[in-house]
């Protein structure tokens, strides 16, 4: 850990804290898991990737290449071409040409067939994509294999079905596409975010220029290969890796009709300013600081699993992560005790190991941000509890952590940490829980745990959050719209609501 407490110190402190909770195994000694690494032999990694423009991989016109690494080992995986202004312009023109001449004129059922083809090819190659996602992003293989890739496939299947049924989605209206969509995505769910963006855009008859995040471009580039295999008409999908500057070129391009952005609230505000008055459509899916509320009548063991899923899934790199835990005072001690024990059982390490629960932090920069906020939590007087798990010597890692004695005003209770760090606060009455949950500039998601159905309805209807889960957390479905309130953005992705952003209705 950075300034105030060293990692060693905090782990020793955490070990002392949880030692009383460790179960004593009768046969003596703790379980050791044998390594169970997923093979990477079937992943066809290129040493160098070009930009995907007009159906082909091409070199960048002016800029060079940047390295993309494995955050678990810091080893270089490949070099990736960086798109500059001229490349973005070429991509937008290719998308515009494809839109005008081909894609918007195609019979909707034919468009649907291409999207089905992409879904099927992705499904066939799901193992390759899962390994690639874990290699490039640091997430555990069991998550990329069981969550990211199946959900990405499901998004393509779901939207393929909509392509020729848009008149049912918008009855008594004439539905037309809008043109070239500029799409900018983050590094936490690289392929899934690409699917969330591309599938509805294509189904509605638009073409796209997509920029993956700088640290995780590989699955988007392999998706480009799938577009080639699916014989998708050239220019319908264009993929232009690069840094924030590349994203800004897309946002500012005059021929782009719509911007769809997922990322930080800070960049979302810049994009909103840049697009204001241009007539460009805009949807923003930004940060969050979700309240996960545990009532005293909740099934506590299940709730603890929900807390773990809510904050340690994908190392907490989740915009809708349940990063603020609100526990009813009468059960707070029990929940904290159970959670302290549970985080000791989480296995941190090689993302490609099938037994790994917590993988690598996505980048050095993100690790520094997590460390800075955790140090701030300690300085502000909150009590830190951290898993005593061993930390690999190379790569970017942060142990599962939670804070108790957190004040509402603490930075760890208000700012998005985007790491495996939970802030725990208590409440006495349902009204206080709602008040505390909503007392935040964000409004993306929330969770409620209680045995009473009536309480679920009473509380969820008062939450200022786009998605509220009851007695579960982090559940996604392409048919279910996802999006935020307040500083978490606007617009919905998924479901009929998600189609609305990609069509013109008259």
Q: Is 348 in the site for ligand NDP (CB under 6 A)?
A: no
Query: Could you tell me the CA-to-CA distances from 449 to 184, 324, 401 in Å, in that order?
Result: 34, 14, 21
Minimum distance from residue 144 beta carbon to ligand NDP (Å)? 16
Q: Which of 204, 227, 319, 389 is catalytic?
A: 319
DSSP assignment of 393-411: SSS-----EEEES--TTSH
Q: How far is it between the farthest Cα atoms of the chain?
A: 72
Region 175-214 residues binding ligand NDP, contact defined as CB under 6 A: 184-188, 211, 213-214
Binding mask 24-63 for ligand NDP (x = CB under 6 A): ----------------------------------------
Minimum distance from residue 189 beta carbon to ligand NDP (Å)? 8
CA distance 381 to 12: 18
Q: Is 264 in the site for ligand NDP (CB under 6 A)?
A: yes
Q: List the one residue out of 304, 317, 306, 289 whose CA is nearest residue 190.
A: 317
Question: Which residue in this structure is represented by tokens 């993100």?
Answer: 366
DSSP assignment of 64-97: -EEEEEETTTTEEEEEEE---HHHHHHHHHHHHH
By residue count, the chain amounts to: 506
CB 241 within 8 A of CB 83: yes
Binding mask 287-306 for ligand NDP (x = CB under 6 A): x-------------------
Minimum distance from residue 274 beta carbon to ligand NDP (Å)? 8
Judged by beta carbon, residue 66 or residue 170, the one nearer ligand NDP is: 66
CA 254, 256, 257, 260 dihedral sign is negative
Q: Is 87 in the site for ligand NDP (CB under 6 A)?
A: no
Q: Is 267 in the site for ligand NDP (CB under 6 A)?
A: yes
Structure tokens at 333: 């001690």
CA distance 249 to 85: 6
Judged by beta carbon, residue 262 or residue 450, the one nearer ligand NDP is: 262
Region 353-372 residues binding ligand NDP, contact defined as CB under 6 A: 369
Q: By beta-carbon distance, which residue lies closest to ligand NDP?
A: 247
- Pick from 55, 71, 200, 263: which binds ligand NDP (CB under 6 A)? 263
- Pick from 319, 325, 406, 503: which binds ligand NDP (CB under 6 A)? 319
Judged by beta carbon, residue 163 or residue 412, the one nearer ligand NDP is: 412
Judged by beta carbon, residue 342 or residue 486, the one nearer ligand NDP is: 486
Helix (H) or strand (E) holding 285: strand 281-285
Q: Which stretch binds ligand NDP (CB under 6 A): 100-108, 168-176, 261-269, 296-304?
A: 261-269
Question: Which residue in this structure is represented by tokens 């996802």?
Answer: 482
Binding mask 213-232 for ligand NDP (x = CB under 6 A): xx------------------
- Pick from 236, 240, 248, 358: which binds ligand NDP (CB under 6 A)? 248
Minimum distance from residue 455 beta carbon to ligand NDP (Å)? 29
The full 3-state SS of 161-193, as one line of letters, equals HHCCCHHHHCCCCCEEECCEEEEECCCCCHHHH
SS3 category, 448: strand
Minimum distance from residue 106 beta carbon to ligand NDP (Å)? 29
Q: Is 396 in the site for ligand NDP (CB under 6 A)?
A: no
SS3 category, 262: strand
Q: Are strands 503-505 and 175-177 parallel, antiparallel or unpaired?
A: antiparallel
Structure tokens at 258: 């719509």
69, β-bridge pairs: 76
- Pick from 58, 151, 243, 456: which binds ligand NDP (CB under 6 A)? 243
The full 3-state SS of 90-129, as one line of letters, equals HHHHHHHHHHHHHHCCCCHHHHHHHHHHHHHHHHHCHHHH
Q: Which of 38, 285, 416, 487 is catalytic?
A: 285
Q: Which stretch binds ligand NDP (CB under 6 A): 155-163, 232-240, 242-250, 294-302?
A: 242-250
Q: Is 319 a catalytic residue?
A: yes
Q: Is 418 in the site for ligand NDP (CB under 6 A)?
A: yes
By annotation, the residues acting in catalysis are: 285, 319
Contact residues for ligand NDP, defined by CB under 6 A: 184-188, 211, 213-214, 243-244, 247-248, 251, 262-264, 267, 270-271, 285-287, 319, 369, 416, 418
């Amino acid at each position: 850990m950075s300034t105030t407490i060293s990692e060693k110190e905090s782990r020793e402190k955490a070990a002392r804290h949880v030692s009383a909770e460790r179960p004593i195994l009768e046969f003596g000694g703790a379980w050791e898991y044998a390594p169970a690494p997923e093979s990477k032999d079937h992943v066809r990694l290129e040493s160098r990737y070009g930009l995907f423009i007009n159906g082909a991989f091409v070199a960048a016109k002016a800029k060079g290449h940047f390295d993309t690494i494995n955050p678990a080992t810091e080893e270089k995986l490949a070099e990736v071409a960086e798109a500059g202004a001229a490349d973005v312009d070429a991509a937008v023109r290719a998308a515009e040409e494809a839109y005008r001449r081909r894609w918007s004129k195609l019979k909707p059922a034919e468009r649907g067939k291409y999207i089905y083809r992409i879904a099927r090819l992705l499904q066939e190659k799901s193992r390759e994509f899962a390994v690639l996602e874990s290699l490039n992003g640091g997430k555990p293989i069991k998550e990329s294999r069981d969550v990211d890739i199946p959900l990405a496939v499901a998004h393509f299947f779901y939207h393929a079905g909509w392509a020729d049924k848009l008149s049912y989605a918008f009855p008594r209206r004439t539905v037309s596409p809008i043109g070239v969509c500029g799409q900018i995505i983050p590094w936490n769910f690289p392929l899934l975010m690409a699917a969330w963006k591309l599938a509805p855009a294509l189904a509605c008859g638009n073409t796209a220029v997509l920029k993956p995040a700088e640290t995780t471009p590989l699955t988007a580039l392999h998706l480009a290969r799938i577009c080639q295999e699916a014989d998708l008409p050239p220019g319908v999908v264009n993929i232009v890796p690069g840094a924030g500057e590349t994203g800004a070129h897309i946002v500012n391009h005059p021929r782009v009709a719509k911007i769809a952005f997922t990322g930080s609230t800070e960049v979302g505000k810049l994009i909103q300013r840049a697009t204001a008055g241009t007539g460009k459509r805009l949807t923003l899916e930004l940060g969050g600081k979700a309240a996960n509320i545990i009532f005293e009548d909740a099934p506590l063991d299940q709730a603890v699993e929900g807390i773990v899923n809510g904050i340690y899934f994908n190392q907490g790199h989740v915009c809708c992560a349940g990063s603020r835990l609100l526990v009813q005072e009468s059960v707070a001690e029990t929940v904290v005790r159970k959670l302290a024990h549970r985080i000791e059982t989480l296995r941190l390490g090689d993302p490609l190991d099938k037994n790994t629960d917590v993988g690598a932090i996505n980048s050095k920069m993100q690790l520094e941000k997590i460390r800075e906020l955790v140090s701030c939590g300690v300085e502000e007087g909150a009590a830190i509890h951290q898993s005593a798990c061993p930390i690999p010597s190379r790569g970017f890692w942060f142990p599962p952590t939670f804070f108790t004695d957190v004040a509402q005003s603490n930075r760890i209770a208000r700012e998005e940490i985007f790491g495996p760090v939970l802030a725990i606060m208590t409440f006495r009455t349902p009204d206080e829980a709602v008040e505390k949950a909503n007392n935040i500039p964000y409004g993306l998601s929330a969770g409620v745990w209680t045995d009473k159905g009536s309480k679920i309805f009473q509380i969820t209807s008062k939450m200022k959050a786009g998605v509220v889960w009851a007695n579960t957390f982090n559940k996604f479905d392409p048919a279910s719209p996802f999006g935020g309130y307040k500083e978490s953005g606007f617009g919905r992705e998924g479901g009929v609501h998600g189609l609305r952003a990609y069509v013109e209705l008259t």
